[in-house]
């Protein structure tokens, strides 16, 4: 069985950047503005002898309130399809209301969820992650998707049960 990893989170936190790094493809468009990726995108990646599938999602609007409104349907579908959820937040933005709404959904979901704090390049990892303990999803994992910081170590850990 190939494990499936879903990337979820607000627009602009770096999901497509991580997708590209994990799949080494150019299929997922990365842009400087949020909300460009409208549909789910699938890619395959490999770490050592382990093959995995990654799902990129367009993100969940930060402007909406409430779980049903805040969770885009495609993100809910991606979570259903996944074995592992990487919930990405922006270490530079800090905790946003939409992060809290998504976290509330993921806490009651049965899927194994990893809280991933992106954009920690140039930041102290402890300082950048400290606020995100408040999301109630356990230890935040600092990465920099654009630069590869901690990405291989994270995926190695995430895939260890598979
Ligand atoms: P998405 O909307 O969640 O898919 O986010 P994108 O992958 O499109 O990235 C949004 C913006 O954040 C782009 O300008 C990226 O270059 C930038 N970005 C992504 N990862 C990092 C990172 O690790 N560090 C920094 N500083 N910027 C990043
Ligand atoms: Mg994207």
pLDDT digits (tens, 9 = 90+) for 148-159: 999 999 999 999
∠ CA 134-100-152 to the nearest 5 degrees?
75
The pTM (predicted TM-score) of the whole model is: 0.89
* Gap between the Cα atoms of 79 and 63, Å rounded: 21
Is 9 a known ligand-binding residue?
yes
Ligand 2 centre distance from Cα of residue 122 (Å): 22
More confident residue, 22 or 26: 22
- Closest atom of ligand 1 to CA, residue 143: 23
Is 148 a known ligand-binding residue?
no
Ligand 1 pocket member 33 (CB < 6 A): no
| pLDDT at residue 3 greater than cutoff 90 | yes
- Closest atom of ligand 1 to CA, residue 17: 7
pLDDT in tens, 39-97: 678 888 999 999 999 989 876 655 545 554 545 677 888 898 899 999 999 999 999 98
What pLDDT shows up at residue 63? 54
Q: Which residues pair with 6 in a beta bridge?
A: 55, 85
Here the CATH number for the domain that contains residue 11 is 3.40.50.300
Q: Residues 73, 61: contact at Cβ < 8 Å?
A: no
Cβ density class 32-54: b for 16+ within 10 Å, e for less: eeeeebeebbebebeeeeeebbb
Number of domains in the chain: 1
Can you give the residue range of the structural domain that contains 54?
4-158
Listed in sequence order, the residues at least 6 apart from 130 whose beta carbon sits closer than 8 Å to its beta carbon are none
């Amino acid at each position: 069985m190939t494990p499936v990893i879903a990337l979820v989170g607000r627009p602009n936190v770096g999901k497509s950047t991580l997708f590209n790094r994990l799949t080494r493809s150019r299929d997922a468009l990365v842009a400087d503005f949020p909300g460009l990726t409208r549909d789910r995108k699938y890619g395959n990646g490999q770490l050592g002898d382990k093959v995995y599938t990654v799902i990129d999602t367009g993100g969940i609007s930060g402007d909406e309130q409430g779980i049903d409104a805040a969770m885009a349907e495609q993100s809910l579908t991606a979570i259903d399809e996944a074995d592992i959820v990487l919930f990405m937040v922006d270490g530079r933005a800090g905790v946003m209301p939409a992060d809290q709404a998504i976290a509330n959904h993921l806490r009651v979901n049965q899927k194994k969820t990893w809280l991933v704090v992106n954009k920690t390049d140039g930041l102290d990892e402890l300082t950048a992650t400290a606020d995100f303990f408040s999301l109630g999803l356990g230890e935040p994992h600092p990465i920099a998707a654009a630069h590869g910081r901690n990405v291989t170590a994270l995926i190695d850990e995430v895939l260890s049960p598979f």
